[in-house]
Structures are given as C-alpha cells and as structure tokens.
Amino acid sequence: MREAMQRLAAAKWKGLFAALFFGGMAAVGHEPFGLYTVSIVAFAMGLGLVLDAPSWKRAGVLGWMVGTGFFAVQWSWLVNPFLVDIKAHGWMAPFAVILLAGGMALYWGVASALAALVRPALRWVALPIALGLAEYVRAWAFTGFSWGGPGLIWIDTPVAQIAAWIGAYGLGWVTLFFAALIYVAIYSGWLRVGVVAAGVALAGFGFLADQRPLPPTTENVLRLVQPNAAQHLKWEPDWVMTFFERATALSSAPADGREPDLVVWPETSIPALQGQAPLLEERAFRSAAPAPLVAGIQRREGSTYRNSIVYYDAPGEPAWIYDKHHLVPFGEFVPFGNQLAKIGIRGLAQQSGYGFEEGDGPVIHQLPGTLGKALPLICYEAIFPRDIRGAKGRADMILQLTNDAWFGTFSGPQQHLVHARFRAIEFGLPLARAANTGISAMIDAKGNVTAALPLNEAGFLDADLPAPLPPTVYARIGDLPFIVALSALFAGLLAFARRKSVDPVAAPL
C-alpha cells in the first residue's frame, strides 16, 4: 500500500484528484453529516499523500488540493447568498466556492511545502504543526475567515470539551496530528502503539473535560423570536410588514410557563432605519413589554450605515446600541466600494457605496435585574473567538442575533450553530441565539443545546437561561501561548532540515 501511495503522490493528475477527494471526504465530519470517523481517516490519507510527495513543491501542491477539497465541500452553502438576487449576483455563484476554497487552501499549500523541508524522520510531526499554524493565519489575515476547521468535527463528542483549554484552533491541530499519526502507524509497529495511546489520551482528556459540573440554571427566561422571513422576500414591500407583524405577535404570545425576562429578535428584524420610524420601534418594544427587548436593526449616521443591535427597556430611544464591528467582506462591505459599484460589484447586504461601516469593537452591555451582563454579537462575529476575548471584562452570557436565511437550509445554518456552541465551550458562557429563519437556540456553558427551534419554522422559544461556568483556561490565555509554542517547535524542526532526496517517511519507520 505504501508504494502505491508514493506512486499516487508522484502521479501528476491522479495525485491531485486523490488529494482533492480525500480533502472533500474530510469535510463530512462537519454538519450536517457529522461523520467524524470518516473525516479522521480521510485526513490521514490526505496528509499521507503530502508526506509521500517526492519534493517540497509537490507537497505544497498536494496540500493545497487537500485544503481545496476540504473547504469546497464544507462551504458548498456559499452559493446560496448569490442566488437570493440572481439578476444582480447570480453570476458570482460559480466562483464563490471555488475561488474562496482555493484561495484559503493556499495557506495549507504553503504550510505543506514548508513542512516538506523538515528532515524526513520528523516530517509527520512538522506537517500538522504547519497546518495548525496555517489555520491561525486563515483566521486572522485580511480580517480572517475562520469558518470551519478540523477541530469542529468533534462537536457532539466529549473531545469538543478540550476547546475549553486550547480553543477550536488548538483542537484542530490535535486532530491533524492524530490523523498524521494514524498514517505513519500503518508502516511502523511502535507507532501503532502510539496511535492507541494517543487515541486513549484524546478520548480520556475529552471525557475528563466533559465532567465539569454545570451550575444550576438561572431563574431567568429568555424568549427567542424566529419570524421565518425568507431572504428573497424579507425586504419586499408586500412582505416587510407581514414579517414585522409576525414578530410582534410572537413577542406578545402568552407564555407556557414563566413570563420572559427578556425578548430577543434576530438580526435586522425591525424593518426601518433606527430613529426614522419611531412608531415601529415603539410597537416592537410594546409587543415584548413588560420584558425589555433586544432586536436587530440598521441605522444611519450621516452617510454611514451600520448593522446594529438595539436594547429597549422603555419607549423612545434605545438604552444602548451595539454596532457590528467584524463585517463580512464582499457581503457587508466591498473594498473600494464606491468605485466598484460603478461596474456593478456590490456587497450582498450593503446599503450603498462602501456598504456598512464597522463599529468600535466588542462591548459588554448591562441587562436588567439578575440577567447580568451580555456580550452582543451579530451573525458572522460568532465564528471568531477573538471577537469575544476582545471585550473588556467578562460577560454572563453571549447574545447572538443572526439572519441565516442567507445560508440556505442544507449545511450553512447547522455549521453556524456549531460555531456558536464552540464559543460557549471555549469561554464557559451560555449563548442565546435568535435566528431569522433558524436555528434559534439556547446553549449552555458546555456547548449543549438545551432548547431549539428548527429551520424555516416561525415561532418563539421560551428557554431557561443557563448559568456561566468559571472562566476557562482558553478564556484566560487565548491562542497566543499555543501559537508561540507551535511556532517555536516548527522553527526547531526547520533548523534540522535536510534537503536530501530521502523517502518522506522511511527514516522513522
């Protein structure tokens, strides 16, 4: 088998297609499939091709193809936003997944090429380290796009709880290291023992992490409103008020048990610019009363538009406003937007010219009574751990308002929910999620979904608010120590690099 893998890695086209295939199969560990065992095996074979590459250039190309397959299958939902307005944006759909997947996979290609410079005996260690560092770069460079990642395949297993120590990115490195270990173990007796030991350690650590006891649920109830506004109808004049009336009716519906202490509407659920339709804002507040209301709205300051969250505890002006600060490139803003708009290139959700303007950053806001402090996030911001760590102080909960109608129904909303669950695990905080078309959910401090509304169903969810856990290790130290440790280790491996034409994995086996 090993000789066959070496031939396949060297075969010009067959090797590329094989790497693309293994990368694509690795993506089925993500929702909606959740086949993490298939993902691990596929990662092992894909990394094996890179390890068996005859040169560092070939290793880079194969690594790029593995990444392209992984991202393309995982991000197949990305065509949906471009189909909402087919006339304006439909032409972009064929390029959306291919270009983004191939572009992001370049980080994997560079990492694979660099790992191939390490001496053969240690190349299987260097490759997952390099790919792990590439994932950090992907999450930060050019505002970052950290959707997905190898570590997220563990969400419904105890292994996911390891993210409370090292975060989802660190768990991604652990995942790739385990996959590389499996590949080289096929050819080495002692490494087979190592695979068993690593597997036991991974499962054992996850099991121990999962034993953290959750504190009793608080006495507070949140009502999460899901009006189910299809994106292609959301801003149509004949439908705008229909969805608004639906939201107000859901807000004022009788409770099955305790009355809600807070009502939460999803992103852009008030269909007017803040301050320009005060009667609408007052109707929204009164539909939730006597509970206060948190709702998504757009607002304008001069020529600047913002995607915002408003909090009303009385009629009139909001008690506080949060402006989204981590905007979606080519969605909420376009670089050089005024110029590109002249040739028809506009952000999918932008208002005009440059699109939305970013807010000042993550901010923790006070809620009434025993609800405590909340960190509001809008949609895409929940995929970035740094958008939680960047806030001053510690919240008692995370509030995510989102409009996942952009993402279709197959995989996008499910994967977005997984990100929210990992943020809860990483920071030991409950997360309340109001989504326009779903999946609205209450998530406890260990990432468990305690209550949820399914996709494409109008309704409300009165859910008990879980209590927070003490700050996790990851909440206290973040990613930097792990990045420094991996970088130092990789630099040490490169220092012993040997540019010899040696079989990539023969020496240690």
Q: What angle (nearest 5°) sits at the alpha carbon of residue 296, between those of residues 293 and 298?
A: 130
Q: Could you check whether the bond before residue 266 is cis, i.e. omega within 30 degrees of 0? A: no
> Are 349 and 324 spatial neighbours (Cβ–Cβ below 8 Å)?
no
397: tokens are: 């909960």
Count the residues in the chain: 509
- For residue 198, the Cα-to-chain-centroid distance in whole angstroms is 27
Strand partners, 301: 304
Closest CA to 484 of 97, 75, 133: 133
Is residue 296 within 8 Å of 308, Cβ to Cβ? yes
Please report the sign of the dihedral spanned by the C-alpha atoms of residue 34, residue 171, residue 63, residue 334.
positive
Please tell me the distance from the alpha carbon of residue 340 to that of residue 318, in angstroms, as a whole number: 35
At 245, which amino acid appears?
E
Cα–Cα distance for residue pair 283/466, rounded to 1 Å? 29
Phi-psi region of 226 (alpha: psi -120 to 50; beta: other; left: phi over 0): beta
CB of 375 closer than 8 Å to CB of 324 = no
Active site positions, annotated: 267, 324, 379
* Residue tagged 């970035």 (tokens): 384
Order of all β-strands in the sheet with 293-301 = 320-323, 304-312, 293-301, 262-264, 221-226, 459-464
Q: What does the DSSP assignment read for 341-393?
A: HTTT---SS--STTBBPP-S----EE-SGGG-EEEEEEGGGGG-THHHHTSSS
63: number of CA atoms within 13 Å, CB side?
Answer: 30
Contacts of 112 (CB under 8 A, 6+ apart): 50, 53, 59, 60, 62, 63, 64, 66, 127, 130, 131
Residue 83 · residue 90 · CB < 8 Å: yes
Which residues 6+ apart lie within 8 Å of 138 measured at CB? 104, 107, 144, 145, 146
The residue assigned the tokens 């209301």 is: 293
Contacts of 486 (CB under 8 A, 6+ apart): 129, 132, 133, 173
The closest alpha carbon to 251, from 294, 287, 222, belongs to 287
